[in-house]
Structure 1
Amino acid sequence: MSEEYNKNDKNDNIETEFTEENHTDIQKEDVSDTAAAEEAAQDSDDDDDYEMICCMCHRPESKAGKMITMPGGIVICSDCMQKAFDTFDKNGSPYGVNVNIPGNGQGGLDLSGLSNMPGVGVINLADLGLGEREIPKNQKVKKKKAKDEKPKFDRRVIPAPHKIKKMLDEYVVGQEKAKKAISVAVYNHYKRVGSDNADGVEIEKSNMLLLGPTGSGKTYLVKTLARLLDVPLAIADATSLTEAGYIGDDIESVVSKLLAAAGNDVEKAERGIIYIDEIDKIAKKRNTNTRDVSGESVQQELLKMLEGSEVEVPVGANSKNAMVPMTTVNTTNILFICGGAFPDLEEIIKERLTKESSIGFKAELKDKYDKEENLLCKAEIDDLRKFGMIPEFLGRLPVLVSLEALTKEFMVRILKEPRNAILKQYEKLLQMDEVQLLFEDEALEAIAEKAMEKHTGARALRAILEEYMLDIMYEIPKDDNIGRVTITRAYIEKTGGPIIDMRGVMRLGVHA
């Protein structure tokens, strides 16, 4: 009896162990199934935000109806499929090809008769592993919201103007008036985006026109602003834009760049910023007998886009062609910022300011403004119109912002004050070699003086530093005993060398 009892106990223990193991396996399977289900649900939610586009007519599913997914991930609408088979069978096919397209009230697609055609073999693409492939991303586009749906943009996510300017102060030196004007214009623009027109008051767009000499920081201001606000930004060059139908980039390519920057999210792109640089290059050409396809014509085509219109742009490409799907972007809530150096505009301003000059003790001298550095700050709409910008174009850029020319003091501050200043970048590079880099104040003044001679603004600072730091960056890694390098004015003026301090050794003057 005792032996049988022990055997029964052992069997019960074995059954208990099996049951626990099975229970553990079941729990693992449940967890994995749950995770797979959640992942599938998330994928389906992501897919719900997008709709497919016909690869033939480029119409989205909301316009063309339910799409047909072909082997290999090809998507085509029922209308294009029917047209294709109508063309194929218009003369009557003796081989029994039955075409029934889903969506037209028919049952299905029967191509069995093709096997009877001489010289034709039917290939089953599913055997090649192409039957269940995902739809390519370039054949999907973000679904547009219904027209009667209110915008979900919350203007409270955009900081107040003084906060925007404070953030810009960390990266941009000087240009106080320009930073203040840009902060107010951007804040008012996004208040306009988040507002409703229930009371009948519709706020106009606050597009901007930036004037400033080369290297004064026009593009850098816009880049910093877009990064701080975390909105899509597209930067285009007006020199490559031409009238539609001519060689060059069409106006729609500007919006296409913004759509790409927004990850092909139409709703996000419609709240972005477009910066068109070198806008002065599309001024009206003077004394020409040929068609001005890259000047006044481009200004004319930009008018509706600046004001707000529906623009059809390619998805995932910069040019329109038959193989690229298209989508529609509304530019009503896109902030347009145009910038240019406007060379020779100073002469037009001088002419206006001195037109009342005459002979006498109180007369203004003709050369009164010859040494004026910030003459662009006195620019007016009439001056820009004489420069070659059409009145309709200037009227759609109501905010006129002038940037100051950079002085030697500005250059020194640009070298060391911003968060990502050029000197801080070189200091970080040498810190990786455990070497300290120092600049004497007189050396910074010498660098600024050389930059002023080049007349290219802040861009000259990097070029000058690259020239003088080349030998230092090359020689420092050779000797592990070097602990500190000090750049002097004598080294910048090429009358001496930098001061190199060895680790634990007294400072030695060494000529590079």
Structure 2
Amino acid sequence: MLDSIEHLTPAQIVAELDKYIIGQQDAKRNVAIALRNRWRRMNADESIRREIVPNNILMIGATGVGKTEIARRLAKIADAPFTKVEASKFTEVGYVGRDVESMVRDLVEQSVNMVKTKKKEEVKQKAAEVVEDIILDALIPPIQGGRSTPGYSGNSDPNAMPDNDYELNERTREKFREKIRNGELEDRKIEIRIQQSSMPGMGVMGPGMDEASMMNIQEMISGMMPKKTKKRKVTIAEARKILLEEEAAKLIDMDEVKEEAIFKAENSGVIFIDEIDKVASSSKKGSGPDVSREGVQRDLLPIVEGSTVNTKYGVINTDHILFIAAGAFHVAKPSDLIPELQGRFPIRVELQSLTKEDFYQILKFPKNALTKQYVALLAAEDVELSFADEALDEIASIAYEVNSEVENIGARRLHTVMSRLLNDILFDVPDKIGANAHIVVTREMVLERLSDMVKNRDLSQYIL
């Protein structure tokens, strides 16, 4: 099930990450090794396979330098379930807040959705054939013994379906089948029956009721209720979309989905714990908020060490989930984490602050570069946008300077700068700037529109 990384060596994984993330080679190397080790473990001798534990990674670096993006892209490369949580959202057991086990449940939910999507794709062709028959029955009901199918409530054309003429009816149905396949009837309206939720969302209250128990009770009650259907009059194009989802869901085996999803989450899941420094105790006084922070760490510890968590899809073991923690560590230090938790993140990676040259490359080279995003947005209006190299250099310089003067928020500063630069153009298209226009962003335009950002030392309105 980890075939997607079978042919990717650590160097190739880094090359894939390079397409989206500039710099941070040390972090990329470490996550690439961690990812390849997943495949190595799954192909190791069975006698030692369960003993090989992942080397969890602690990323240290300011905001906006690429910590989250590295983890997210890594999961995409591996086709692995991924969930991001913020450690500061958790609170010690007994206080109001999220339970630490919820991050594992979120991961399993993500895994189930991934497997379900894959399975639906596999049965798509079969489901499409079933949907075609449903649509055809709604247009021209089949004749059985000279009469329409009992219980049919769709639209029918009496001229197209003479009574007691089975062969003519079949020929007419085949003609309409061809029309459906050729897309000639997409706007024609038909009446279909679709399943609706048998009961609205409900809360279950009780003493000591945890999240997993509540979800299981809701699912059990929902399963006991009869399935309801309702009629809807929609176009054939809409009907196909609605029914394809419904029929594909009927064709997949949910027990198989759950089993595969739990395996996938346990063996290839990635949990990214951000802001871990916010729950690190910066002092050893043992009172006040530091006690609560240490409590969160102690709640996180068994999950990261390896334990079993109940989810509505079954029990999941966290022994081989890869945990990547990250934090700026401006105030607290990694050594302020409790020793047991430090030991569960043996790989330490320090990410570098972004330089002016990094900003320039971020604007120019990644597949998802901001400049490419704006080009695509305006291309939707048939307006061609391009950036002169000197303009990109100036944008990078301004972003770097603003970060130095105010607060360093890394690559996120580019969003502010680019928005300020292009907002007038985005507003004027298509009213003042029509289709087929070609706009070139020059260094002069950048200086004219962004000079006040550099002059204004307060810069309060530009801080994200």
- Are residues 293 and 257 of structure 1, via their aligned partners in 2, closer, same or farther at CA, if it must alter by over 3 Å? farther
> Which TM-score applies when normalising by structure 1?
0.54
- More helix by proportion, 1 or 2? 2
| Deviation (angstroms), 1:307 | 1.9
Instruction: Report which of the two structures shows the higher radius of gyration computed on alpha carbons.
Output: 1
| Deviation (angstroms), 1:153 | 5.6
| Deviation (angstroms), 1:431 | 1.7
Any unmatched runs of 5+ in structure 2? 113-257, 452-464
Match of 2:423 in 1: 470
The percent identity for this pair of structures is 39
Any unmatched runs of 5+ in structure 1? 1-151, 316-325, 346-382, 498-512
Residues 153 and 194 in structure 1, CA contact (< 8 A), matched pair in contact too: no
State the distance in 2 between where 1:179 and 1:213 align: 16
CA RMSD of aligned residues (A): 2.4
Q: Deviations over 1:254-299 (max 9, x none)?
A: 1011011112632222121111011111101535633645411121
Matched, 1:335 2:322: yes
| Deviation (angstroms), 1:481 | 6.2
Secondary structure of 1:419's partner? coil
Match of 1:296 in 2: 294
> Which TM-score applies when normalising by structure 2?
0.60
State the distance in 2 between where 1:296 and 1:153 align: 36
State the distance in 2 between where 1:330 and 1:259 align: 11
1:429 aligned to which of 373, 377, 402: 377
Matched, 1:418 2:405: no
2:262 aligned to which of 256, 266, 275: 266
Matched, 1:225 2:74: yes
Matched, 1:277 2:305: no
State the distance in 1 between where 2:366 and 2:413 align: 17
Q: Which amino acid aligns with 1:423?
A: T
Residues 5 and 36 in structure 2, CA contact (< 8 A), matched pair in contact too: no
Secondary structure of 1:269's partner? helix
State the distance in 2 between where 1:401 and 1:412 align: 24
Residues 266 and 320 in structure 2, CA contact (< 8 A), matched pair in contact too: yes
Residues 205 and 307 in structure 1, CA contact (< 8 A), matched pair in contact too: no
- Are residues 336 and 312 of structure 1, via their aligned partners in 2, closer, same or farther at CA, if it must alter by over 3 Å? same
| Deviation (angstroms), 1:197 | 4.3
2:348 aligned to which of 376, 400, 404: 400
State the distance in 1 between where 2:49 and 2:39 align: 18
Matched, 1:208 2:57: yes
- Are residues 158 and 394 of structure 1, via their aligned partners in 2, closer, same or farther at CA, if it must alter by over 3 Å? farther
Q: Deviations over 1:337-356 (max 9, x none)?
A: 101111146xxxxxxxxxxx
Residues 375 and 384 in structure 2, CA contact (< 8 A), matched pair in contact too: yes
In the TM superposition, 1:452-463 aligns within 5 A as: 452=400, 453-454=402-403, 455-463=408-416
How many residue pairs end up in the alignment?
A: 296
Residues 211 and 401 in structure 1, CA contact (< 8 A), matched pair in contact too: yes
State the distance in 2 between where 1:250 and 1:412 align: 41
Q: Deviations over 1:403-436 (max 9, x none)?
A: 1110000001001100111101111122222222
State the distance in 2 between where 1:194 and 1:245 align: 42
Residues 370 and 415 in structure 2, CA contact (< 8 A), matched pair in contact too: yes
Residues 2 and 78 in structure 2, CA contact (< 8 A), matched pair in contact too: no
Matched, 1:484 2:434: no
- Are residues 274 and 482 of structure 1, via their aligned partners in 2, closer, same or farther at CA, if it must alter by over 3 Å? same
Match of 2:188 in 1: none
Residues 158 and 229 in structure 1, CA contact (< 8 A), matched pair in contact too: no
- Are residues 255 and 295 of structure 1, via their aligned partners in 2, closer, same or farther at CA, if it must alter by over 3 Å? same
**Larger RCO (CA within 8 A; separation ≥ 6):** 2
State the distance in 2 between where 1:242 and 1:496 align: 43
